[in-house]
Structure 1
């Protein structure tokens, strides 16, 4: 594992928390057992608060003041959803630790020293009352950091087994130029609104005239500019959704140099020209995406299989005592790694994307 990742991980743990409320559990209570390995409430609480703090600090703008009671999925609040994710992450970390020997993997003395120093720093910069509320003793912080570091190293090791060979055929991305004749317009105040049916018919007529004329033009883009129309460029395959599924469906039938007729969508009419059957840059980027997807799938499947094989028991009564709604946790001071602007965990990155989509 690269040293800079460990430094980044530690930086994410070194915030100063702002707290209110109190815990109602004993820290030595067992939240979960994985085989013979016990996860006590202090470990579960500190990791949960670490994730909660990132949500509270960075994503409350998307989710609102009552974020933990808001719906994340049908019948499930954000608190329930995030706590489920936290619990699964803890299960993963423990089973990954148990399988370290399978990959001849260990933390180096240097990595252990970084964790130890970071735990001591966390202990020194946070008030005792605050640390007690998040179970942030030096030993607990050190244990959670160790589990997180092992998880990252094991993830990399497991993903080394993914197939990285991707053919041009599998990843092929075509390219096109297109013009959108939009069904949107603006009112006197500059606000976007839908056109009337009469206005849409005029747009359809304009699109038909363009489609007819451009078929005889030598240059799609030049002809569009001559008609004072804006040309967009894009890459696609048969599974693409943007800019419109109907357009992708029609363009995917064509050979290089061929032009669609007028393709209607909810947003307007499109006319497009296929400019390449294999866009090199987009195809190579798609290959990277496919390889990354394979790595993520291999890692997720491995963890899932190991969790299935492990004898995992969760004490839901103890776990329920870790309540996000009664204890507010935020990061007052963020310490960043000099190599990166990103301090979020994978779980939180996914949650941010989900929050943004829900906000839309």
Structure 2
């Protein structure tokens, strides 16, 4: 498998910095070990600062300039520490995969190595000296990170190559429905503050739901009657293994034929009326088939990786990780110079897109977008 293309830059745009006075890190200091292998601080620092640059503008637009020092998840950790912890976990994953390349005959070809070098060079050339120094970016470090993501991409494909691709029509089938849902536990106001309903309010909502159910003479009346009472109807699809629907609601839906509508369904938190619009939604079924296959692949990959990680001792030097600081801001500007069409699901990041269409983005946390 050969690399098809690399993004010209690591970021959607070049980095912008002002004059910084931060202390230089010892890039060769050991930040973690995997067995006898030493993981260098320079690689960890670059990945963390890249992630800072990728997410910073979005996070700050929601949470303010001091976002990295805030405990956004209520777990006692700052966003900076959470991000660094996630990136260290990513490094454990990638260096573990690197150790097992021979198990699957995975190698990096000369063409791939050249693509890695070219992408790293483009990044170094596109950014200012100040920005590169703040990121701790060197040609060797950027190439190392790109190599790790290339290995991850190729190892994923190798591990999942023999996964069972046989998915029955019944397993993949998605039914389409329309649903009136009336929450009876509480509501959110315009400031996103949650308030529980009083017993009188719950009783009033229950009576209105009963009135709606009584007013529906034909299944096609659902939308118009709901609107008359100030409610809206949503649509969706589900399969036989759907775990997102309330179990009582799903049981009722499973008992309906195409075009049929349910009676009023009462659960602990809401009241429902549902209608089956189609026994087979072709587009949703095809998407579900793809999702099932992806879940099988991810399960096999994660199970394999977990076993390897259990067998290899990974130690993080917390005091060294603490030297990585998000104090100075890194922002993104201008559009990417990439000339090819972006791949499906493309985000601001380094991509190594393979002939099979898989892509990897340097990422450790979810985007705020």
Q: Deviations over 1:267-288 (max 9, x none)?
A: 8643222344444433332222
Query: Are 1:18 and 2:17 an aligned pair?
Result: yes
- Counterpart in 1 of 2:7? 7
Query: Are 1:74 and 2:75 an aligned pair?
Result: yes
- Counterpart in 2 of 1:301? 303
State whether residues 18 and 329 of structure 1, in contact with CA within 8 Å, keep that contact through their aligned partners in structure 2.
yes
- Counterpart in 2 of 1:121? 122
Q: Deviations over 1:238-273 (max 9, x none)?
A: 63435x665445323444454322234688643222
After TM superposition, the score normalised by the length of structure 1 is 0.78
State whether residues 12 and 336 of structure 1, in contact with CA within 8 Å, keep that contact through their aligned partners in structure 2.
no
- Counterpart in 2 of 1:83? 84
**How far, CA to CA, are the matches of 2:63 and 2:27 in structure 1?**
30
* Pairwise CA distance, 1:59: 3.1
Q: Deviations over 1:115-172 (max 9, x none)?
A: 2122223323333333223221122222222222222222222232332222233344
- Counterpart in 2 of 1:102? 103
**How far, CA to CA, are the matches of 1:298 and 1:17 in structure 2?**
41
The structure-2 alpha-carbon separation of the partners of 1:5 and 1:294, relative to structure 1 and needing over 3 Å to count, comes to farther
* Pairwise CA distance, 1:333: 3.9
**How far, CA to CA, are the matches of 1:59 and 1:127 in structure 2?**
24
- Counterpart in 1 of 2:348? 343
Cα RMSD (Å) = 3.7
* Pairwise CA distance, 1:29: 0.9
The structure-2 alpha-carbon separation of the partners of 1:39 and 1:4, relative to structure 1 and needing over 3 Å to count, comes to same
Q: State which drifts further: 193-202 or 104-113.
A: 193-202
State whether residues 25 and 321 of structure 1, in contact with CA within 8 Å, keep that contact through their aligned partners in structure 2.
yes
The structure carrying a bigger helix percent of its residues is 1
Q: Deviations over 1:45-81 (max 9, x none)?
A: 1112112211213333234322222223523332222
What are structure 2's unaligned runs of at least 5 residues?
Answer: 190-194, 350-359
For residues 169-248 of structure 1, what are the structure 2 equivalents within 5 Å? 169-179=170-180, 204-205=206-207, 207-212=209-214, 214=216, 217=217, 219-221=218-220, 225=224, 232-237=234-239, 239-241=242-244, 247-248=249-250
State whether residues 68 and 78 of structure 2, in contact with CA within 8 Å, keep that contact through their aligned partners in structure 1.
yes
- Counterpart in 1 of 2:328? 327
* Pairwise CA distance, 1:321: 0.9
* Pairwise CA distance, 1:205: 4.5
Find the residue that maps to 2:38 and give its secondary structure.
Answer: strand
State whether residues 221 and 231 of structure 1, in contact with CA within 8 Å, keep that contact through their aligned partners in structure 2.
no
**How far, CA to CA, are the matches of 1:123 and 1:178 in structure 2?**
53
* Pairwise CA distance, 1:334: 4.5
After TM superposition, the score normalised by the length of structure 2 is 0.77
Q: State which drifts further: 202-211 or 112-121.
A: 202-211
Find the residue that maps to 1:328 and give its secondary structure.
Answer: coil
- Counterpart in 1 of 2:356? none
**How far, CA to CA, are the matches of 2:223 and 2:130 in structure 1?**
67
State whether residues 178 and 236 of structure 2, in contact with CA within 8 Å, keep that contact through their aligned partners in structure 1.
yes
**How far, CA to CA, are the matches of 2:66 and 2:310 in structure 1?**
35
* Pairwise CA distance, 1:87: 0.6
**How far, CA to CA, are the matches of 1:223 and 1:13 in structure 2?**
46
Q: State which drifts further: 219-228 or 45-54.
A: 219-228
Find the residue that maps to 1:163 and give its secondary structure.
Answer: coil
Q: State which drifts further: 254-263 or 110-119.
A: 254-263
- Counterpart in 1 of 2:140? 139
**How far, CA to CA, are the matches of 2:36 and 2:227 in structure 1?**
72
**How far, CA to CA, are the matches of 1:125 and 1:148 in structure 2?**
21
Find the residue that maps to 1:351 and give its secondary structure.
Answer: coil
Find the residue that maps to 2:366 and give its secondary structure.
Answer: helix
Find the residue that maps to 1:313 and give its secondary structure.
Answer: strand
* Pairwise CA distance, 1:33: 2.3
